[in-house]
A and B are shown apart, each in its own frame.
Chain A
């Protein structure tokens, strides 16, 4: 793995971005990495763009913000957020894992702005990456009973694509340590589902 390996988790407030990136960071610290996670969000808890930057290194503690054009992996919980983040931090070597279901901005809902045609949006996302994995995580999460599980499905996809060294065992112990018992199984199901979706 490149050092530092720079990951951006992009999404919209309320999608579980912060918890997802914290979970990924914890697993990596347990594997002996120095991890820095920076979170960027607006004043509102929901509705705004949210991105977390993960810096993963064996050498030093890097700053909480990735330099321009230096993302190695973009895990996007929303497709237009993938475009926003790749536009700023992408480079020809960037790999992306993208949840394909849009979350419409309020200005789109009100008709002030329009949301791009999803196929074209995914085309430009793919054109900015060396490789892209498209995952309809929210739809599958709704089938599991809760849209918030999309973030765990996405982590599963990142793991399944071999982009970060997460194992189901490590994830299970992190989930057991930090979530209530009734949530363990459903989160593990979401993780396994994510792994399958890219294989």
Chain B
């Protein structure tokens, strides 16, 4: 049994924030959970899926976030308890539905967990999803610790059922992907019966009625949240500085106050219910404040909402100096970390930072500068994407017309960097490469003569590429879509997708074939193994030479991480020391300088390449590159 569904009330365990969120949902009587994988949110569904069978709940990896939210909503409008999880970008995909669902309301409970990624640690952007809560008039909760994440999610189900509308919970990477102590609560014995009441349809029209009803539900939430224990003040009654903070910012702020010894001068107000705001509590604290510092991650959402509250009540409040992102005291983007918060607080309060021996500091600086070479991101050793992009590079270079490869979001996004030979020329959103290539391939009459190509992964294909392909057929766009099919949603931890033989819960599932789907649209469709470099290069070249409308090439080879775990090494790789003549070869160190697989090393002293047996996964691709056949692969 997993600790996630351990029936041991009161036991203290170490849990990842995402596991704590999942546990909170189980303690609330979760029945349906759906998501599309996206870090830092993926582990919520992943851990729930593992216990779904035992718990008798429905957990799925949906094709995209919009469908995930719709699946969860189907339960939540039928008296059920449902959760949809996503990363910040995912909420963009789902928000069209969310901004109508809020108007009809629900007849059960629906918690929408959005894990934001301040500083874009594993994301293409760092958008602040909290703005959606205000846009959609939905309550928003922000956990500051792991245990609170569990407690908040459990409470969010109650709140959602009470007000009859979804409740948003915003986590961040430093909560979702961190671990801490969580105290287990009880798991319910009974769950509601799922049934759709057909006597009343769900319809957001007319908005003249539904919009005011939505506002009433939010007002009801404000009443319930006014006394919430998730909002807490620690500090002197009339502090010199009132820090208003939320989420992971609270952890960093309270530690900075401790380290700088400001406990008697600064008070920390932690807001857990960031929308609608706990007005009375905030007004009470503002009454005795002279200076206020806002500490929150990414946008000044809490800051601006409190300033709005202040403006509305300014007749009854003192003059206050507000510091935060608006005043330039806190950086306007990115995550808060202890060092940054300590710097801010020390400047604002004139407090001294802990000192360090200058000689030690100089040596420490030297250690980073001279002894820690940067590690730029790279495809894994044996990654099929390296081989695929090598073939693209060769084909585009042979063609010579400056073809453009539009890309999107996935492991292969690294193709915009040297590890992918700088082949990708754009990265935006899921599926956006296909849509852009479809457009660019339609501009021949405007004088465009560059070949148009797009790349997507297998999971992305299902998520957001299919509509662009349908468009391409109808518009007669001339472009080549390359699907790099590595057999799962690799970047987020290899979750299954509609092409997988199993579903999230590990049950056998019908597979939706990429090729069959493409062929059914009338697209010319081909498959190649990227590890066969020559054949793959040839087919890409032929397909871009031929101007005959949209075409699809599936490059199929399993993710190296999965393959090496499942099958072990395919080849034992060695360097033939006689044949490798290093710098004297004339190959210009093709294998290490250009191909750059981490399994290869350049031994400067011996003037030849070597294989690092701790890193190499034995895919054998580099053997094809070496003009002297000095890289030897021996089948295992």
> Interface of A with B (CB < 8 Å)?
12, 14, 22, 25-26, 29, 34-49, 61-69, 80-81, 83-84, 86-88, 90-92, 101, 103-111, 113-116, 120-121, 124-125, 127-128, 138, 142, 147
Contact = CB atoms under 8 A, between A and B. Distances in A.
Contact of B374 (A38, A44, A101, A107): A107
B363 A127 contact: yes
B367 A128 contact: yes
A80 B366 CA distance: 12
Contacts of B14: 22, 25-26, 29, 35, 37
Given A12-B375, A44-B380, A46-B598, A62 B255 contact: yes
A61 B178 contact: no
Contacts of A69: 354, 356
27 contacts: A29-B12, A29-B13, A35-B179, A37-B179, A43-B123, A43-B414, A44-B414, A47-B380, A61-B180, A64-B179, A65-B252, A65-B337, A67-B259, A68-B339, A83-B367, A84-B367, A86-B367, A87-B365, A88-B364, A105-B375, A106-B376, A107-B373, A111-B592, A115-B373, A116-B371, A124-B371, A128-B363
Interface string B167-190: 000000011011111000000000
B371 A47 contact: no
Interface string B437-455: 0000000000000000000
Contacts of A115: 373
B614 A138 contact: yes
Given A65-B174, A128-B367, A92 B357 contact: yes
B376 A107 contact: yes
A127 B597 CA distance: 33
A88 B368 CA distance: 8
Contacts of B342: 67-68
Nearest to A46: B380
B220 to A, nearest CB: 32
Contact of B371 (A29, A68, A80): A80
A114 to B, nearest CB: 7
A49 B282 CA distance: 42
Contact of B255 (A35, A42, A63, A103): A63
A98 B191 CA distance: 52
A111 B380 CA distance: 18
B-side binding surface: helix, strand, loop or mixed? mixed
Given A41-B121, A63-B248, A109 B601 contact: yes
Interface string B360-393: 1001111110111111111111000000000000
Contacts of A44: 377-380, 411, 414
B251 interface: yes
A80 B411 contact: no
B273 interface: no
A106 B248 contact: no
B402 interface: no
3 cross-chain pairs, A with B, having the tightest CB-CB distances, nearest first: A63-B251, A87-B368, A84-B372
A25 B365 CA distance: 30
Contacts of B461: none
Contacts of B251: 61-64
Nearest to B181: A34
Nearest to B494: A45
A128 B360 contact: yes
Contact of A120 (B248, B259, B371): B371
B628 to A, nearest CB: 18
Contacts of A111: 589, 592-593, 602
B372 A64 contact: no
B459 interface: no
Contacts of B175: 64
A108 B123 CA distance: 26
A69 B181 CA distance: 25
**Which of A42, A43, A121 is the most central at the interface, judged by chain B CB atoms within 10 Å of its CB?**
A43
Contact of A142 (B364, B377, B414, B614): B614
B419 interface: yes
Contacts of A101: 614
B364 A86 contact: yes
Given A38-B177, A83-B368, 5 more contacts: A42-B375, A46-B561, A64-B248, A65-B252, A84-B372
Contacts of A63: 174, 248, 251-252, 255, 338
**Which of B181, B368, B380 is the most central at the interface, judged by chain A CB atoms within 10 Å of its CB?**
B181
B613 interface: yes
B292 to A, nearest CB: 22
Nearest to B377: A44
Nearest to A122: B371
Nearest to A116: B371
A91 B356 contact: yes
Contacts of B325: none
A101 B145 CA distance: 37
B286 interface: no
A36 B614 contact: no
**Which of B252, B377, B419 is the most central at the interface, judged by chain A CB atoms within 10 Å of its CB?**
B377
Contacts of B370: 116, 124
Contacts of B372: 80-81, 83-84, 87
Interface string B520-546: 000000000000000000000000000
Contacts of B376: 48, 105-107
Contact of A45 (B146, B380, B600): B380
A62 B614 CA distance: 36
Contact of B602 (A29, A43, A67, A109): A109
B165 interface: no
B203 interface: no
B596 interface: yes
Contact of A47 (B178, B252, B378, B612): B378
A159 to B, nearest CB: 18
**Which of A65, A125, A142 is the most central at the interface, judged by chain B CB atoms within 10 Å of its CB?**
A65
Given A38-B174, A61-B180, A68-B338, A49 B371 contact: no
Interface in B321-359: 337-339, 342, 354, 356-357
Contact of A90 (B178, B364, B419, B491): B364
Contact of A25 (B121, B145, B179, B615): B179
Given A36-B180, A37-B180, A116 B381 contact: no
A25 to B, nearest CB: 5
B122 A91 contact: no
Contacts of B256: 67
Contacts of B102: none
Contacts of B174: 38, 63-65
Nearest to B335: A65
A78 to B, nearest CB: 10
Contacts of A106: 375-376, 378, 418-419, 596, 598
B40 to A, nearest CB: 10
Nearest to A147: B614
A99 to B, nearest CB: 11
A36 B178 CA distance: 7
B411 A67 contact: no
B147 interface: yes
B255 A67 contact: yes
**Which of B360, B378, B414, B615 is the most central at the interface, judged by chain A CB atoms within 10 Å of its CB?**
B378
